[in-house]
Structure 1
Amino acid sequence: MRRWASVVAALALALPGPAAAQDPIAVPSPILTIDQDRLFEETRLGQHSTREIDAAAEALTDENRRIEEDLRAEEISLTERRGSMSAEEFAGLADAFDAKVQAIRAEQDAKARALASRQEEARQAFFVEVAEILSEIVREEGAVVILDRRDVFLSADRIDITDQAIARINAAGRQTPAAPAPATPAPDPVPDPVPPPADQ
């Protein structure tokens, strides 16, 4: 515990206090920091991709809700008909219904994974698009590297360029489409349950 206290104290002495923070520091920092999440979420370029993906996610949620309601109604109907059929007939219908549910779940999970992949591709495309602007800021500030703020334990606010980068990207007026959804083969249709033939 004493060791950590000495480390924190040393860091506190190294950082500028309230009075020193009022005076600009002429020596440039070789390290800059940036909030990647804010950069993506608060630039018009990032918001353009986010809107399209959010719309796709909302559509998938609505689809899942409709499917869930249809399956629940089908399950209730099957349960109500149980008294009018033999145990073997009901077991066959129940197994077919379970197989249908599993197939639908696998299909919807695949759609969710494809959407997550599309979101990651859009994020990567965004940072490729803005790399030139970030490089310009690095040169102007006399720095050599930009680190994500999440990877930095403690730093002075003066080396954070998030606001500057957001303003520069918005001023550039760039806009790129979201990453296209990856092509996935359509699943085989799942047949409705068919009652087994009556015993001869």
Structure 2
Amino acid sequence: MTNDGLTLGEVPAGEDPFALFEAWLEEATAAEINDANAMALATVDEGGLPDVRMVLLKGLDHRGFVFYTNFGSAKGREILASGKAALCFHWKSLRRQVRVRGVSEIVSDDEADAYYATRPRRSRLGAWASEQSRPLESRQILVDRVAEADARFPGEDIPRPPHWSGLRILPTEIEFWKDGEFRLHDRILYTRDGETDGRGTGPDGERAWARRRLYP
């Protein structure tokens, strides 16, 4: 990261927000007691009413932020319908926050299969058993459905359900917030810049980022 005067505290806010996020996530992983990769995921339903819940970040690259879900769940249905979502990471021990807004895409089958294979066996069975977000008359029904999936797939070779995959949030905005004394916080907003060259892309073919400081 270059020091061009734009900083978060004493740390330069470089041109690449993903590099900054990865550095913050690494520090959070060392500092937070549980789930440094937890993020609030905000969506909207068909009526435009906001919805939010906590999920876990399971993939990160220069395209975006990946999590996995049952596409029949409320969040799955809402994101697939709107193609948009927002994320918020809050690391209380570090007094930092990152907000993300963007559009969504479904991860490739290969990517989803690879992650699914890393899950514990019971979690893979649960993906078959749970009709996520749907009404459930009793806990026993879910227990029975897990047992049925267990009998159906007795070994470790449990295929990924067709309704279960990953969603990647492709950010158009990433905002970094760092606590400051007397509520004089540092806020740096990164937005996609379409004026980098004639095609609106950087040297790697991706759209570049513009940065600016916001009032706290």
Q: Same fold (TM over 0.5)?
A: no
Higher relative contact order (CA 8 A, sep 6+): 1
Higher-strand-fraction structure:
2
TM bracket, shorter-chain basis? under 0.3
Q: Which protein is bigger by CA-based radius of gyration?
A: 1
What TM-score, normalized to structure 1?
A: 0.22
